[in-house]
Amino acid sequence: MTTNANSANQNALARYKNNFLKEVEANVEDGHMVKMCMQCGVCAGSCPLGPAWQHSPQKIFMMIRAGKREEVLGSDSMWMCTSCYNCIVRCPRQLPITHIMHGLANYAHRLDLAPKGQPTREIAKLFWDNLVKTGRVNELKFSLAMYFKDGFGQGVKNAMAMQATGLGLLKAKRLNPMELVGGHKCKDIGGFRKMVAKAREIEDRRRGLA
Amino acid sequence: MAKKQYAFYPGCSSQKGATASNFLTSLDVVVQKLDLQLNEIPDWNCCGASIGYAEGGELPRLVINARNLAIAEKELPGQDMVSGCPACWLATRETHERLAEHANLLAETNVALKEAGLNLNNTVRARHMTEVLIEDIGWDAMKAPVVKPLDHLKIAGYVGCQTNRPFGIAGESFENPKYLDKMIETVGAEAVKYDQKVTCCGGALAFSEPDKSQKQIRDIVEAAYDGGADLIVTPCQLCQANVEVYQSEINKKHGTKLNMPVVYYTQLMSIAYGGTAQQAGLDGQVIKADKLAAIAKK
C-alpha cells in the first residue's frame, strides 16, 4: 500500500469509526442511494457476469449496511461490471447501481484496498493514464501496454497469441502502426492535463484523499 | 432546403486508422443523402469510455466530458451535439444531466474548466446518431434515398447495451427495442428473430476477462445463426469490434466455425443509398460481408 493511500485509509477509519454506510455515502459516487436497496435481487439476476463475482450488488449493499468494510472494498465484484446498465434500468427502487459499483471500485482502488493484480483494475488504470497523456485514447499503445503489463516475456506471448486478430485489423486498416510514434491527440494537451489535475485535486480534497 | 447542423463528436475509435474508422467512412454517404451537416467539435477529447471511472473518479470524468460540451457551446452555438459512438454519447449525456441537477458539481466543473480557458453554461443537448435519424429525419425520409434495396438479405439486429441503456431511444423498451429492426426493414432487408438483441458483449472486459466476454460473444453470434441471419448489424463501435474480431479466438478455443459478418447500420444505409463497397467501409471488415458487398456491385 502506498503511503498516501495508507494515510487516507487511516483517516477514513478514524473519521467514520464503524459507520461504513456513512463513509460510503460521503465518499462514493451516488453512495447516498445504497440505503434505498430493498434486497429484491433483480440486479443479481440481471448481470451478464453474474456467475463470475464473489458478491452480487444486492449482497454488496447489505454488506455496506452491515459495516463489512474490508470485505466490500476488497471484493472483486465491482471489477466485473461491464457497464451494460441492465441493473440500473431494472431496479424497482431506481438505484443507480452501475454508478455505485463504479464508485465503489474507484474508492477501493484509491485506498489501495481493491484486489491486487485484478485484471480490470489494471487495464482501467492503463486506459485512464493513456487518455490523460494525449487527451485521446491511443488504441495501439493501450493494447501493447495491456499485453506487456506482466513483463516482457509474458507480453511477447500475449502479443503472439493475439497476432491473427491484430493482423486482421491491420489489413482492414483499423490498426495503424504509426500510432506508436505519433498518433491522434488534443492540441491543447497542456490545458487538458491541468484541467484534469484540478478536477482530481478538488475531488480528493472533498473525499479526504488529498 | 438548408442542411441540418450538428456539433459532431466522432470519438477516439472512429478516428483514421482506429478500430471503428469504417463507421465514419460509411457515415459520409448517409450524411450527404440525408442533408445533414456534421461540424466536428474543434480539439475534442476522449469521453473516458466505460472503464474511465476506476482511476478517473467522478469529477475528472465529468470534467473531460464538460470540456467537449463547453467547446461545442462556444464554437458551434445553438447546435445539438451528436455522436455515433454509444459510449461517447452516454458519457456526454450523463454529464449534461448530472451537471444540470447538481449546481455544486457544475460550479466545481467550471473551476477545473478554467484551467483550460473554458466555461460551461450547460446548454448543449447530447444525442446519438440513431436518435437524430429517427427523430429529426424520420422513417419516410430515411427510406427515400434507397436505390438498391437489400432484398433477400437476412439480418440480426444487435442493439447491445449502451445505445439502449440507461437512456435509449425515446419510446423504445429496454428489453425489446424495435428501432434497429425497423431500420433493417427500411433499407429493404429482413430482420430475423433474434433473442440476443440486447445482450452484453462484455464491453471493455473483452480485454481483461477474455473468457467471460467470449462466452457472451459466442451466444450473440450463435443466436444470429439460429435466426438464419446472413449478418449482424449494430449501432455500437465496441459491440462491432468485440463480436467480429473475437470469433476467430472462439473458434480456436472451442472448435466452432463462427464466421458471421458484423456491420454498422450506416454501412447498410450506405449500400442501399447507392454507395460503393468502399464508400460503405466494407474493406474494413475482418470477416467479409460478401452478400452486402455483392449488392453494391449490382
Q: For B238-272, how does the pLDDT look when each residue is reduced to its tens digit (9 = 90+)?
A: 999 999 999 999 999 999 999 999 999 999 999 99
In the predicted structure, residue A75 carries a pLDDT above the cut 80? yes
> What CA–CA distance (Å, rounded) separates B234 from B19?
15
Q: What is the DSSP string of chain B?
A: -PPEEEEEE--GGGSTTSTTHHHHHHHHHHHHHTTEEEEEPTT-----TTTTHHHH-SHHHHHHHHHHHHHHHHHSTTPPEEES-HHHHHHHHHHHHHHHH-HHHHHHHHHHHHTTT------PPEEEHHHIIIIII-HHHHHTT-SS--TT-EEEE---STTTSSS-STT--SSS--HHHHHHHHTT-EEPP-TTTT----TTHHHHSHHHHHHHHHHHHHHHHHTT-SEEEES-HHHHHHHHHTHHHHHHHH-------EEEHHHHHHHHTT--TTTTTGGG-SS--HHHHHHHH-
Which pLDDT does position A180 carry in this prediction?
A: 66
Could you tell me the three cell numbers for B233? 448489424
In the predicted structure, residue A1 carries a pLDDT above the cut 90? no
Which pLDDT does position B236 carry in this prediction?
A: 96
> What CA–CA distance (Å, rounded) separates A145 from A100?
28
Q: Whole-angstrom distance between the N-terminal and C-terminal Cα of chain A?
A: 16
Q: Are residues A54 and A76 located together in one domain of the fold?
A: yes
Q: Are residues A32 and A134 located together in one domain of the fold?
A: no
A208 belongs to a structural domain: no
Q: What does pLDDT average to over chain B?
A: 96
| Whole-number percent of chain A with pLDDT over 90 | 71
In the predicted structure, residue A159 carries a pLDDT above the cut 90? no
- Residue pair A49/A87 in contact (Cβ under 8 Å)? The answer is no
Which pLDDT does position A182 carry in this prediction?
A: 65
**Residue among B182, B12, B148, B178 at smallest CA distance from B84:** B12
Count of domains for chain A: 2
Q: Are residues A97 and A124 located together in one domain of the fold?
A: no
**Residue among B5, B292, B46 at smallest CA distance from B154:** B292
Taking an 8 Å cut-off on Cβ atoms, the answer to whether A136 and B15 are in contact is yes
Which pLDDT does position B46 carry in this prediction?
A: 96
Main-chain dihedrals φ then ψ at residue B157, nearest 5 degrees: -85, 105
> What CA–CA distance (Å, rounded) separates B19 from B237?
8
Contacts of A127 in chain B (CB under 8 A): 49, 51-52, 55, 204
Which pLDDT does position A181 carry in this prediction?
A: 64
Q: Express each pLDDT in B192-242 by its tens digit.
A: 999 999 999 999 999 999 999 999 999 999 999 999 999 999 999 999 999
Could you tell me the three cell numbers for B150? 437489400
A151 belongs to a structural domain: yes
For residues B104-126, one letter each, b for 16 or more C-beta atoms within 10 angstroms of the residue's C-beta and e for the rest, the string is ebbebbbebbebbebebebebeb
- Chain position carrying cell 494515510: A7
Could you tell me the three cell numbers for B277? 463497397
> What CA–CA distance (Å, rounded) separates B38 from B31?
8
Q: Are residues A126 and A105 located together in one domain of the fold?
A: no
- Residue pair B181/B191 in contact (Cβ under 8 Å)? The answer is yes
Kindly report the nearest CA distance between residue B122 and chain A, in angstroms: 17
Considering only CB atoms, B166 lies closest to which of A89, A146, A164, namely A89
Q: Are residues A106 and A23 located together in one domain of the fold?
A: yes
* DSSP β-bridge partners for residue B264: B234
Taking an 8 Å cut-off on Cβ atoms, the answer to whether B111 and A98 are in contact is no
Instruction: State in words which class domain B4-130 has.
Output: mainly alpha
Contacts of A88 in chain B (CB under 8 A): 165-166
Contacts of B58 in chain A (CB under 8 A): 29, 103, 106, 203
Give the mean pLDDT of B27-32: 96
Q: Are residues A92 and A158 located together in one domain of the fold?
A: no
pTM: 0.95
| C-alpha dihedral, A119 to A121 to A125 to A127, nearest 10° | 60
In the predicted structure, residue A107 carries a pLDDT above the cut 80? yes
Q: Are residues A149 and A97 located together in one domain of the fold?
A: no
Considering only CB atoms, B57 lies closest to which of A86, A187, A200, namely A200
Side chain identity at residue A93, one-letter code: R
Every domain of chain B and the residues it spans: 4-130, 147-297
A145 belongs to a structural domain: yes
Could you tell me the three cell numbers for B11? 470519438
Give the mean pLDDT of A112-121: 96
**Residue among B222, B226, B230 at smallest CA distance from B263:** B230
Taking an 8 Å cut-off on Cβ atoms, the answer to whether B12 and A184 are in contact is yes
Which pLDDT does position B1 carry in this prediction?
A: 59
A206 belongs to a structural domain: no
Fold of the domain built from segment(s) B147-297: Rossmann fold (3.40.50)
Contacts of A178 in chain B (CB under 8 A): 17
Side chain identity at residue B52, one-letter code: G
Cβ-based neighbour number of residue A170 at 10 Å: 14
Q: Are residues A25 and A100 located together in one domain of the fold?
A: yes
More confident residue, B37 or A172: B37
Radius of gyration of chain B (CA): 19
Side chain identity at residue B39, one-letter code: N
Q: Are residues A28 and A103 located together in one domain of the fold?
A: yes
Q: What is the DSSP string of chain A?
A: --HHHHHHHHHHHHHHTT-HHHHHHHHSTTGGGGGG-----HHHHH-TTGGG-SS-HHHHHHHHHTT-HHHHHT-SGGGG-----HHHHH-TT---HHHHHHHHHHHHHHTT-SPTT-HHHHHHHHHHHHHHHHSS--HHHHHHHHHTTT-HHHHHHHHHHTHHHHHHHHHTT-S-GGGGTS----TTHHHHHHHHHHHHHHHHHHTT--
Q: Express each pLDDT in B84-138 by its tens digit.
A: 999 999 999 999 999 999 999 999 999 999 999 999 999 999 999 999 999 999 9
Give the mean pLDDT of B165-194: 97
Which pLDDT does position B298 carry in this prediction?
A: 87
The residue out of A98, A115, A132 marking a domain boundary is A115
Residue-number span of the structural domain to which A40 is assigned:
3-115
Q: Are residues A135 and A45 located together in one domain of the fold?
A: no
Contacts of A123 in chain B (CB under 8 A): 51, 204, 207-208
Q: Express each pLDDT in A35-70 by its tens digit.
A: 999 999 999 999 999 989 899 999 999 999 999 999
Window from A65-79, A99-113, B8-22 with minimum mean pLDDT:
B8-22
> What CA–CA distance (Å, rounded) separates B47 from B34?
27
Let me know the angle formed at the C-alpha of A33 by B122 and A63, rounded to the nearest 5 degrees: 145
CATH number (domain holding residue A39): 1.10.1060.10
Which pLDDT does position A169 carry in this prediction?
A: 80
